[in-house]
Amino acid sequence: MYPVMNSASKVNGIAFGVLLAGMFVYSLPPVFSFARNQTDAWNLFVDGKLLRKFEQVYEKRFFLREPSVQLWANAQYRLFDEGTKGVVLGKDGWLYTNQEYRVPNNLEANLDGQLKQIAEIEQRLKAHNKRLILLPLPMKVDVYAAHTERAVDPRAISLYDRFVERLQAQNIAVTPLRSAFLANLAGPGLFLKSDTHWSPEGARLSAYELARQRPELLGDERYLSHKVADKTVKGDLMNYIQFNHAQLAPQFGPSQIAVYETLKAEQSADALFADEQQSLVLVGTSYSKIDDWNFTGFLKEALNRDLLSVAVEARGPFEAMSQFLASDDLNNPQIDTVVWEFPLRTLLAHRLGSLSRPGQTQHF
- Mean pLDDT per 10-residue segment, the chain (364 residues): 57 65 58 56 49 55 50 46 74 93 92 96 97 98 95 95 98 98 96 96 98 97 96 92 54 90 76 68 97 98 97 93 96 96 94 48 54
Q: Is residue 113 part of a domain?
A: yes
Residue 159: predicted pLDDT: 97
Q: How far apart are the first and last CA of the chain?
A: 67
Residue 80: predicted pLDDT: 44
Residue 240: predicted pLDDT: 85
Q: Is residue 123 part of a domain?
A: yes
From the candidates 206, 225, 255, 286, give the one annotated as an active-site residue.
286
Q: Is residue 19 part of a domain?
A: no
Domain residue limits at 168:
95-349
Using the Cα atoms of residue 332, residue 336, residue 338 and residue 339 in order, give the sign of their dihedral: negative
From the candidates 142, 194, 197, 199, give the one annotated as an active-site residue.
197
Q: In terms of DSSP H, where are the helices of the chain?
A: 7-37, 41-47, 50-61, 65-80, 107-127, 140-143, 154-169, 178-182, 200-213, 245-248, 269-273, 286-289, 295-303, 317-325, 346-349
From the candidates 195, 245, 288, 309, give the one annotated as an active-site residue.
195
Q: Is residue 16 part of a domain?
A: no
Q: Is residue 252 part of a domain?
A: yes
Q: Is residue 357 part of a domain?
A: no
Q: Is residue 21 part of a domain?
A: no
Active site residue 197: yes
Give the whole-angstrom CA distance, residue 44 versus residue 53: 9
Q: Is residue 24 part of a domain?
A: no
Return the H-helix or E-strand segment holding 231: strand 223-233
Length of the chain: 364
Q: How many domains does the chain have?
A: 1
Active site residue 195: yes
Active site residue 236: no
187 bridge partner residues: none
